[in-house]
Amino acid sequence: MQLPRLRPPPRLRVPAPRWDVLARRLLVLATGVLAALPVISSTVEAERAGWVPAGDDGIIATRGWDVLSSHTPLVGQYSEAGLVVHGQVMHSPGPMLYWLLALPARYGSVGSLAATMCVVNTLAIIACVALARRRGGLVLMFAAAFGISLMSQSLPGEAMHDIWNPAAGLFTFLALMFTGWSLACGEYRLLPLAALLGSFVVQTHLMYLAPTAVVLAVGLGGLAAWLLSGRLAARRAACAPAPAAAGAGAEGEGEGEGHGDGHGVGEGAPRTQPTPAGEQARVRRGRVWPWALAAAVIVCACWTAPVIDQLESSPGNFTMIARTVEHRGHTVGATVGWHALVRAVGVRPWWLYVPASEWERKLDVLHTPSSARTNSTLAVLATLGVVLLGGALRRRWDLCAAALIALGLCAVMVEQVANNPASRLLSETLGYTLWWGSELGLWVYLVLFWAVWLVLGWAARMVLARGSLTTRLRGRWAAGWRGTAAAASPALAGLAGLALVGAAVASEQRPDSHVYEYRSIAATAAALERVLPGGAGVDFRFGALDIGTQPMEPALRFLLVRHGDRVMAPGSFRRLGSYYELRGHPYRWVVYLDDGTRRAPHMRLVSRVSFRSPWGREVLSAWVRRVSHGGRTS
């Protein structure tokens, strides 16, 4: 009599202990915070120096104040591109930067604006580190953290906390790159985050539009392919005869610890009953539509204000952007675009050295790079192509998606710079619109590092697979590595090294470009606030301010608005909207700013500050006059 064969019980997935999960999350958090040390350090130094929103920051802060008022902005920051290229007023696509700054602009100290950007940038870096951990485990997490910390040395120190729109989107765009990569790997729960980050960076400045389109195209395309492959697998499994018993516990390892295939998204409690294969495929992918719906709601909420402006204005801001792009005039050309790519990814790339000036890149792209740097760029691009092909052959779609993002962004860099208008004013903007070239270089080298690491891991597995002795050694090594103490040692070493690198980068940071004005702005604003009553209409005038005092005017305007005054001046509608336009509005006070010690007739001197700027000694005088019966311009 033949006894029936006993089937083994279904294998159950044992969840990791809660303390282990907590330790992992704390490690990610600590790594992200240490990678953000340059951001935190620059913000602390700015607060010590008495940070105030000078220059364009003052305009952005004022518009942030307006969000919670009856004249909330519908579009973003004013851009000279529309005036120079097409002769009309154009703004950045949307007001999300103003929404972010709405509360700190009204409440707390003035420095809370810079602190808000510090928090946002730090959270963006932590998100990058966390997503790198999901894609490649500890190795990729620490590689990304070290890379971000080193990359920070190539950016201006004030860009770490600046509310200026080209700087405000830098680290959120980097987080979008990691988010788009994870989307392409099947992390559909990141759809709302991708919608939020993509909307924010595009609305801050047009320079992020094309790079964001590439990242989202790869991310959404990869996600669609992943979902389609799941449906096909489910159909094939449904048509096949069901196995006698199947354990659902072999689905993965719960936390997605570095599998890199996008299938590590946990779906709740493990199943303990036999499940048909088609049902397993459906469960593993979960329900995508709630996350897609949430992303659609976020997109609608973020873009409602710009759409309202487009419908109410004639022409709308979207129309002005399209006209500006269409009639940009003579451009700098493809040669300059290629130079920018060579500087971004060729040896030595932008992200690995400290520039002499934050505006240095507008000069870098005008000079022909060396043949060695050009050849290294060609080698990097060729290697990315090999990584893309190798990932496809090995079915490592995570590697394919990362390489596609890198190659797409390289193409965007060339195209974006090549089509930049050649007029003197707009060609100067390359000094800051190329800041994201540091992030491009970081991403390219991170992809290459990850590809090399995977190849080395594959080769090591091939070697260890030969011979019983090596197999036993490998088993003992793996068992020891899984121990908490053994795993903690390299993690602690990585944290210590990251802290040293972050401290070194922070020590090399330069002071803010307007640091010499901060104390004088605060003193002048305090003197004006002592004289002007809150809620007064103010005719805001200024003389021929020079390059050392002109950035003080927008800051003083914002501080008076924060004081409760309605500060108006001729021509303000372009940058601040019609609410601040003087024409036709009553006022009771006149404020006049002027360089030097010249007397303003029939006005009272309330403040005179003296300071030294990079251009020499500066003196700014502030005069006021009260209009007895109220003034009104025709």
pLDDT digits (tens, 9 = 90+) for 337-360: 999 999 999 999 999 989 988 899
Please report the pLDDT score of residue 486 as a whole number. Answer: 55
Tell whether 523 and 449 lie within a shared domain: no
User: Residue 368: pLDDT above 70?
Assistant: yes
- In angstroms, rounded to a whole number, what is the distance separating the alpha carbons of residues 99 and 570? 26
Tell whether 440 and 531 lie within a shared domain: no
Angle subtended at Cα 151 by Cα 148 and Cα 152, rounded to the nearest 5 degrees = 90
Tell whether 418 and 340 lie within a shared domain: yes
For residue 594, is it within any domain?
A: yes
Please report the pLDDT score of residue 474 as a whole number. Answer: 53
For residue 347, is it within any domain?
A: yes
Mention every residue, 6+ apart, whose C-beta is less than 8 A from residue 9: 247
Tell whether 532 and 460 lie within a shared domain: no
For residue 85, is it within any domain?
A: no
Q: 398: buried, middle or exposed (CB in 10 Å: 19+, 13-18, 0-12)?
A: buried
Tokens representing residue 228 in the block: 């389609």
SS (H, E, C) 255-291: CCCCCCCCCCCCCCCCCCCCCCHHHHHHHHHCCCHHH
Residues in the chain: 634
Report, as an integer, the average pLDDT of 422-439: 90
pLDDT digits (tens, 9 = 90+) for 115-152: 999 999 999 999 999 999 999 999 999 999 999 999 99
For residue 175, is it within any domain?
A: no
- In angstroms, rounded to a whole number, what is the distance separating the alpha carbons of residues 200 and 218? 19
Amino acid identity of 564? G
Please report the pLDDT score of residue 249 as a whole number. Answer: 36
Tell whether 447 and 521 lie within a shared domain: no
Please report the pLDDT score of residue 262 as a whole number. Answer: 42
Residue 338: closest CA among 379, 315, 309, 366: 366
For residue 595, is it within any domain?
A: yes
Tell whether 533 and 600 lie within a shared domain: yes
Tell whether 349 and 459 lie within a shared domain: yes
Tell whether 343 and 440 lie within a shared domain: yes
Q: What is the pTM of this model?
A: 0.89
For residue 390, is it within any domain?
A: yes
User: Residue 273: pLDDT above 50?
Assistant: no
- The answer to whether residues 611 and 100 touch, using CB atoms and an 8 Å cutoff, is no
Please report the pLDDT score of residue 318 as a whole number. Answer: 94
Give the pLDDT band (50/70/90) at residue 251: very low
Name the domain count of the chain: 2
pLDDT digits (tens, 9 = 90+) for 284-312: 456 899 999 999 999 999 999 999 999 99
- The answer to whether residues 143 and 450 touch, using CB atoms and an 8 Å cutoff, is yes
Tell whether 460 and 522 lie within a shared domain: no
For residue 628, is it within any domain?
A: yes
Last residue of a domain, one of 448, 464, 480: 464
Look up the domain containing 357 and give its range.
Answer: 331-464
Tell whether 454 and 541 lie within a shared domain: no
Report, as an integer, the average pLDDT of 576-599: 91
Tell whether 525 and 599 lie within a shared domain: yes
Tell whether 359 and 428 lie within a shared domain: yes
- In angstroms, rounded to a whole number, what is the distance separating the alpha carbons of residues 634 and 628? 18
For residue 228, is it within any domain?
A: no
